[in-house]
């Protein structure tokens, strides 16, 4: 089966899973997922499943990527912060839906790898940053949207602080060895409104930049 047919089948799977936002589906269709997975797994790039990458991380399941993008209520005038660049796939999809994406990763090789793919694909509205995701990125705050692709027992206070008035943050909440809850947080008149969305599994959100020995 050709890549095009694999991609069509994935989009059909997303529709069956309840993803109906045409802008999100178009963004998913427009990003070549095979660019973001290891060479040995390229034949599985359009399976609707998470795939392992380096540093015990994964490329998220396309259904989860689409649900998070939909929950964020994105628009082309918005500035978005992503926590957890990983391979760069999620940031690439989001870049098709907002004005600007800032994405933070704690592993330097992953930042460099993602930057190379973004450049190759001509995705010039993404800035990848080596940093501590729990601290967000204050130089560009506040953000209209924040997407967290790693789980924590509760939303980090600094991320909430960097969310703009009227903004939305979506992140998985829960421990690393349990089913987590995908939560949506809305900031309204300095109040945070919480809404559970789905059950998910993500790698844990870890503080600090990884030491070079961890990233070797």
Catalytic residues: 60
Q: Which residues of 170-205 are buried (b: 16+ CB within 10 A; e: fewer)?
A: bbbbbeeeeebbbbbbebeeeeeeeeeeeebbbbeb
Residue 205 tokens read as 């959100």
How many angstroms separate the CA atoms of 203 and 35, rounded? 21
- Strand-pair partners of 100: 79
For residues 32 and 62, the answer to whether their CB atoms sit within 8 Å is no
For residues 91 and 114, the answer to whether their CB atoms sit within 8 Å is yes
Sign of CA dihedral 160, 202, 149, 204: positive
Strands 51-52 vs 58-59: parallel, antiparallel or unpaired? antiparallel
């Amino acid at each position: 089966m050709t890549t095009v047919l694999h991609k069509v089948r994935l989009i059909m799977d997303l529709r069956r899973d309840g993803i109906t936002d045409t802008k999100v589906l178009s963004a998913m269709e427009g990003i070549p997922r095979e660019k973001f997975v290891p060479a040995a797994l390229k034949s599985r790039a359009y399976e609707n499943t998470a795939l392992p990458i380096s540093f015990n991380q994964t490329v998220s399941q396309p259904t989860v990527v689409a649900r998070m993008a939909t929950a964020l209520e994105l628009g082309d005038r918005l500035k978005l912060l992503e926590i957890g660049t990983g391979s760069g796939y999620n940031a690439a999809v989001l870049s098709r839906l907002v004005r600007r994406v800032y994405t933070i990763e704690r592993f330097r090789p992953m930042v460099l790898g993602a930057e190379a793919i973004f450049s190759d694909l001509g995705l010039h509205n993404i800035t990848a940053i080596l940093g501590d995701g729990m601290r967000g990125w204050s130089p560009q705050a506040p953000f209209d949207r924040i997407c967290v692709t790693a789980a924590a027992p509760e939303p980090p206070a600094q991320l909430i602080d960097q969310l703009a008035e009227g903004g939305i943050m979506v992140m998985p909440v829960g421990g690393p060895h349990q089913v987590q809850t995908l939560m949506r947080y809305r900031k309204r008149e300095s109040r945070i409104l919480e809404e559970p969305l789905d059950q998910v599994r993500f790698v844990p959100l870890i503080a600090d930049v990884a030491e070079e020995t961890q990233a070797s």
